[in-house]
């Protein structure tokens, strides 16, 4: 167990950092596309898979189903609350869940066929170090699969691109001020292909899955958009970055009790990208 309290990520990630609710909301919301991305890897029975930054553990069962029978899945996360949730999600027959820092993983080198990691590498202060650490855990011919949501700007208000643009910029300004991040830090998620190639992986390819939702929404979609986006990502934190009129308009659109609530509009149309970049290590001869 890694009990260090020193932040290991750009957003101050430590063992005590807790994104449990937000991770569960995202995994329920994006489950169809995440499972499609996993299926695209064409995993085989008997393979060994590492989920690096497994969060609350929903993907552990999806991965385990792809490598059964005879396969093995290991989940690893830094946060205590995430590990607790993942262990509750995965039975002993499904996956082993470890609490550890990716850069100090207590795992044998060259012991996995696939390292799956979603929305993790971009949080590290040194993404290249994270990729190198994953590479050391792979067998010859093994693959690193890095998933990243929101590689492209998300579309929330199809009917009002002006407000959408202002809100997205307000979010960037908040993160710049809150975490002292510059524009390069905030857009580093777009560099995954380059990072894998820089790591010397000889075969790198990418595929983007569109998460597309229109009204009426599933309960999982509405829960994610209202709680994780409207309330936790936007909310009162954006008030200093918007004009009074724009902030009030945003609050009306985000309020489930208001007649203008965005998710009840017949023209509600949401788009978010999920990009999977896969790099394969060299085969031995």
pLDDT digits 0-9 by tens, 110-125: 999 999 999 999 888 8
- Same domain for 134 and 51, yes or no, is yes
Say yes or no: 120 and 200 in one domain: yes
Query: What is the pLDDT at residue 122?
Result: 86
Residues 196 and 238 in one domain: no
pLDDT of residue 8: 55
Dihedral sign from CA coordinates of 204, 66, 113, 285: negative
CB atoms under 10 Å from CB of 253, counted, come to 21
- Whole-number average pLDDT of the chain: 92
- What is the pLDDT averaged over residues 70-89? 96
How many structural domains is the chain composed of? Answer: 2
Full-model pTM: 0.92
CATH of the domain at 117: 3.40.50.150
Give domain status of residue 38, yes or no. Answer: yes
In a domain? residue 6: no
DSSP for 57-115 reads SHHHHHHHHHHTTT-EEEEEES-HHHHHHHHHHS-TTT-EEEE--GGG--S-TT-EEEE
* 9 within a domain of the structure (yes/no): no
125 and 224: one domain? no
Alpha carbon 199 to its chain centroid, in Å, reads: 21
Does a structural domain hold residue 230? yes
| pLDDT at position 1 over 60 | no
Structural domain of 31: 20-151+183-211+273-280
């Amino acid at each position: 167990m890694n009990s260090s309290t020193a932040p290991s990520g750009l957003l101050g990630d430590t063992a005590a950092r807790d994104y449990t609710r937000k991770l569960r909301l995202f995994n329920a919301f994006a489950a169809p596309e995440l499972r499609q991305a996993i299926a695209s890897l064409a995993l085989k029975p008997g393979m060994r898979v590492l989920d690096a930054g497994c969060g609350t553990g929903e993907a552990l069962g999806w991965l385990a189903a792809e490598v059964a029978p005879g396969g093995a899945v290991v989940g690893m996360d830094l946060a205590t609350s995430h590990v607790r949730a993942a262990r509750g999600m995965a039975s002993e027959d499904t996956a082993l869940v470890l609490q550890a820092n990716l850069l100090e993983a207590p795992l044998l080198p060259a012991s996995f066929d696939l390292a799956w990691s979603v929305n993790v590498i971009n949080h590290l202060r040194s993404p290249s170090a994270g990729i190198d650490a994953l590479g050391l855990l792979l067998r010859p011919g093994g693959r690193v699969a890095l998933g990243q949501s929101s590689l492209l700007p998300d579309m929330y208000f199809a009917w009002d691109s002006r407000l959408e643009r202002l809100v997205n910029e307000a979010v960037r300004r908040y993160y710049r001020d809150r975490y002292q991040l510059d524009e390069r830090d905030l857009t580093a998620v777009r560099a995954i292909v380059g990072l894998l190639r820089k790591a010397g992986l000889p075969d790198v390819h990418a595929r983007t899955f569109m998460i597309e939702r229109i009204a009426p929404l599933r309960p999982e979609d509405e829960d994610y958009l209202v709680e994780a986006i409207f309330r936790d990502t936007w909310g009162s934190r954006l008030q200093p970055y918007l004009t009074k009129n724009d902030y009030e308009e945003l609050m009306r659109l985000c309020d489930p009790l208001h007649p203008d609530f965005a998710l009840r509009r017949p023209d509600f149309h949401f788009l978010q990208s999920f990009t999977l970049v896969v790099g394969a290590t060299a085969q031995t001869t």
